[in-house]
Amino acid sequence: MKLKQRVVLLAILLVIFIFTKVFLIDNLDTSAANREDQRAFQRMLSGLRVALDPRLEHTLQSPWEIAAQWVVPREVYPEDTPELGAVMHAMTTKKIIKADVGYKGTQLKALLILEGGQKVVFKPKRYARDYVVEGEPYAGYDRHNAEVAAFHLDRILGFRRAPLVVGRFVNLRTEIKPVATEQLLGTFMTVGNNTCFYGKCYYCRETEPACADGDIMEGSVTLWLPDVWPLQKHRHPWGRTYREGKLARWEYDESYCDAVKKTSPYDSGPRLLDIIDTAIFDYLIGNADRHHYESFQDDEGASMLILLDNAKSFGNPALDERSILAPLYQCCIIRVSTWNRLNYLKNGVLKSALKTAMSHDPISPVLSDPHLDALDQRLLSILATVKQCTDQFGPDVVLVEDRMTLSHL
């Protein structure tokens, strides 16, 4: 064989070797990542039940100190949380030492200070479990049980971006009124034999109070994030106009995602993929009201999109508002880890997992069966949407590997 032919042959063999090595490494990396996703899913399933137990073993810290230390830029709480039951027990049982009107917003809530100085947001019950909210997908009052269910769905999806939420019964006469500020106390009233209040907010009206059953009011409490992690508010790029006859650009421009990708913080970093994770989360719970979102301040786009204020959810189990998925079907990208997790939750696993996760909550049953059934149906729609994307663009374009090492030092 001539020298020139030998050189050409060696060059071809070298190219084949390089491509084979790259292919094998990629497949090994993908396979290893998939195996880790499977292990993480099994760990999630094994830790679903959270017994509300006051015991905190192997620590002298308060539950509030423990929860505060969990928070990092990409997680509100870690995957392994043996103290979760103790923190949630404290949220639902600790003495209320102050009650005030809620922070700014459109819906009724109260800001409570629990023993030990921990702030929580209390959202009162407004609807029976089987009540169906008709009209627009963002219609109606906040649903306190939706906050509880959304927190546990966040755990199941492996996002860990929602603040802790648990149900709680409070006695308005003995627990709230004695420690209420004048501003809150001035909104209390009696309707029949029931104690009620209407609070202070954009839509709060004296004619539309939230009423207890006698003095006992069911509600949810959301753990306030630590003050060392101040929040920054952002307009959601796929937000609605809330004006009849006026569409947002994303509602008529199918190439809208291309424009979003050219603007900060969506042109780099994890934020756009967070938006798509959130669209999936919101579609599952039926939340079409995420017009803004929060991240941590001065994050330069690296912070997670925090899943706050999920109470405009689980209103109508028969309404699957596809427009919530616009970030997914317009951008046609999704994290591999999210895609894997969604596939593990098929065939009734999602409904069963959420039912199990919520079973120990003080206000259980948290959701009616039609809402649980709707979750499984919506999951199929999400998977079908991703398949349409992969059929059009290929899995290498649609499925994005974006895993971040998270530290809880």
The reply, when asked if residue 123 is annotated as ligand binding, is yes
Mean pLDDT, residues 358-367 taken together: 97
The reply, when asked if residue 225 is annotated as ligand binding, is yes
Q: Confidence band (pLDDT; 50, 70, 90) for 245?
A: confident
Q: Which pLDDT does position 115 carry in this prediction?
A: 97
Whether 130 is catalytic is: no
Q: What is the dihedral of CA 201, 194, 358, 144, to 10 degrees?
A: -10
**Residue 238: Cβ-neighbour burial (10 angstroms; 0-12, 13-18, 19+):** buried
Percent of the chain past pLDDT 70, that is, above it, reads 90
The reply, when asked if residue 321 is annotated as ligand binding, is no
The reply, when asked if residue 118 is annotated as ligand binding, is no
Mean pLDDT, residues 346-364 taken together: 97
Across the chain, mean pLDDT equals 90
53-80 burial, b for 16+ CB within 10 Å, e for fewer? eeebeeeeebbbebbbebbbebbbbeee
pLDDT at 225 over 60: yes
pLDDT at 89 over 60: yes
Residues 6+ away with beta carbon under 8 Å from 128: none
Mean pLDDT, residues 47-73 taken together: 89
pLDDT at 299 over 80: no
Q: Which pLDDT does position 11 carry in this prediction?
A: 53
Cis peptide, bond prior to residue 265, ω within 30 of zero:
yes
Q: Which pLDDT does position 309 carry in this prediction?
A: 95
Mean pLDDT, residues 329-350 taken together: 97
Residue that wins the pLDDT comparison between 266 and 405: 266
Q: How many C-beta neighbours within 10 Å does residue 214 have?
A: 13
- When mean pLDDT is compared across 103-107, 140-144, 168-172, the lowest value belongs to 103-107
According to DSSP, the β-strands at 399-400 and 334-335 are: parallel
- Asked if 126 contacts 142 with a C-beta cutoff of 8 angstroms, the reply is yes
Mean pLDDT, residues 108-123 taken together: 97
- d(C-alpha 270, C-alpha 175), whole Å: 43
Which residues sit opposite 216 in a β-bridge? 171, 213
Q: What is the dihedral of CA 393, 331, 155, 26, to 10 degrees?
A: 40
The reply, when asked if residue 383 is annotated as ligand binding, is no
The reply, when asked if residue 109 is annotated as ligand binding, is no
Q: Which pLDDT does position 137 carry in this prediction?
A: 85
- d(C-alpha 388, C-alpha 382), whole Å: 10
CA 106 to mean position of chain CA atoms = 20
Q: Confidence band (pLDDT; 50, 70, 90) for 31?
A: confident
Q: Which pLDDT does position 65 carry in this prediction?
A: 96
| Given 37, 100, 289, 376, the catalytic residue | 289
Q: Which pLDDT does position 122 carry in this prediction?
A: 98
pLDDT at 188 over 90: yes
Residue that wins the pLDDT comparison between 47 and 23: 47
For residue 185, which amino acid is it?
Answer: L
Residue that wins the pLDDT comparison between 254 and 114: 114
For residue 208, which amino acid is it?
Answer: E
- When mean pLDDT is compared across 13-22, 217-226, 245-254, 318-327, the lowest value belongs to 13-22
Report phi then psi at 7, rounded to 5.
Answer: -60, -45
Provide the whole-model pTM.
0.90
The reply, when asked if residue 115 is annotated as ligand binding, is no
111-131 burial, b for 16+ CB within 10 Å, e for fewer? bbbbeeebbbbbbbbbbebee
